[in-house]
Amino acid sequence: MTQTQKWNATDLPDLSGRTAVVTGANSGIGLTAAHALAGAGAHVVFAVRDPERGRAAAATVSGSTEVRRLDLADLASVREFAAGWDRPLDLLINNAGVMMLPRQRTKDGFEMQFGTNHLGHFALTNLLLPHITDRVVTVASAAHRWGDATIRFDDLNMDANYTPRGAYAQSKLANLLFTLELQRRLTESGSRVRALAAHPGYSATNLQSHAASPLDRVGMRFGNRFLAQSDRAGALPTLYAATQDLPGAGYVGPDGWGEWRGGPTLVSRSRAASDPATARRLWTVSEELTGVVCPLEVQVA
C-alpha cells in the first residue's frame, strides 16, 4: 500500500469461525479492537474486571461477543478465568493496562503497574497457551524507551524509589521482553503460535486520566485533545499484529514521526527490550512470582 493508502480496519481478513480474547475490552483501544474483530466475523470475548461495564460495552458491538470476568491484579482471578477456558483460542490480545498510578499494590502484593501490565498477562498467557492456536499480541508502549526504563531485579516493586513514571516504563519494557522470550520458547518447542507486540502511539484514551500527578493529568488532557490520534487509529497496530503475516517477536507501531501517529508498520525497539539474557531472567523471575510455569517443552538457557 502507498502512503495515501495505509492499512486500516477495513483491510482485516475474514475472521469467521475464529475466537479472540481481548483483555480490557470495555473501553479505549480494547473496545475499538473488539468492534473491528467482531465486525470481521470473529467471536470476541471481553475479558474485563467489571462484567457489568463489559456487558454494556459488548452491547455496542455488532457481532458475536461474550463477557467473562478477569482481574489481572488478582492471580486467583487469572487462574479462575483460565480454568474456565475449554476450547481452542485463536487469538489472545493482552491489551488491558494501568498507567502512571500513585503507589498501589495488587491483591498478591506486587506493585500495581508491574503486577497488572506484566505479571497478570504473563500468568494468563501461560495458563491459556495450551489452547492458543494462532498468536498472542501484547500491547506495549513507546514508554519502554524512557530514560528510566529498566527491569529492577533487585527491587521490582520499587519499594526503595517508587515513581509512577518509572514503574510504568518498567512494566512496558517487561511486555516487550516477555514477547521476545515467549517467541523463543514457541520456536524451540516447534509451535506454530506466534508472539507479537504492538503499541498505539499517542492515542486519546482514558488510560492517562489516572496518572498520579495532577500536572501530568492536565498535560495529557491537552495532548489527547490537540496531539493524539483517535483510539480507532491507535487500535490499528494491535489489529495489524493480530491478523497480518508478520514474524514472531515482531513489534508494530505507527509509521509517523516519533511513532506518535500514522499507519501500522513494523518498528524497532530499544536495546534494553532486545536483550535475550534479560528476557530469560525476567521470565524465570515471573514464573517464581506468579507460580505459573510455561507449559512448553524447551531448552532453558
One-letter identity of residue 259: E
| Residues 6+ positions from 254 with CB-CB distance below 8 Å | 200, 201, 229, 233, 236, 237, 260, 261, 262, 263, 264, 265, 267
Active-site option among 168, 202, 240, 251:
168
CB 2 within 8 A of CB 204: no
Q: Beta strands of 49-111 (E only): which ranges?
A: 65-69, 89-94
- C-alpha dist (Å) from residue 10 to 5, 41, 198: 12, 12, 19
Strands 132-139 and 194-198, by their bridges, are parallel
Fold of 15-200+231-290: Rossmann fold (3.40.50)
Instruction: For residue 232, give the nearest of 17, 39, 16 by alpha carbon.
Output: 39
Helix (H, G, I), strand (E, B) or coil at 23: strand
Q: How many CB atoms lie within 10 A of CB 204?
A: 22
Instruction: Round to whole Å and give the CA distance between 257 and 240.
Output: 19
User: Any idea where the domains of the chain sit in the sequence?
Assistant: 15-200+231-290
**Helix 28-39 to helix 236-243 angle, to the nearest 10 degrees?**
40
One-letter identity of residue 107: K
User: For position 209, what pLDDT does the model report?
Assistant: 46
**The 65-69 sheet, strands edge to edge:** 65-69, 43-48, 19-23, 89-94, 132-139, 194-198, 251-254, 264-266
User: For position 148, what pLDDT does the model report?
Assistant: 73
Instruction: For residue 296, give the nearest of 137, 136, 95, 148 by alpha carbon.
Output: 136
State yes or no: is 162 an active-site residue: no
What is the DSSP secondary structure assignment for residue 73, as one 8-state letter? T
Name the pTM for this structure: 0.91
**Helix 121-128 to helix 75-83 angle, to the nearest 10 degrees?**
20
pLDDT by residue, tens only, the chain of 301 residues: 544 568 998 999 999 999 999 999 999 999 999 999 999 999 999 999 999 999 999 999 999 999 999 999 999 999 999 999 999 999 999 999 999 999 999 999 999 999 999 999 999 999 999 999 999 999 999 999 998 789 999 999 999 999 999 999 999 999 999 999 999 999 999 999 999 999 999 875 555 444 555 654 444 454 444 455 888 999 999 999 999 999 999 999 999 888 888 999 999 999 999 999 999 999 999 999 999 999 997 655 5
User: For position 37, what pLDDT does the model report?
Assistant: 98
Instruction: Round to whole Å and give the CA distance between 219 and 96.
Output: 22
Instruction: Round to whole Å and give the CA distance between 36 and 135.
Output: 17
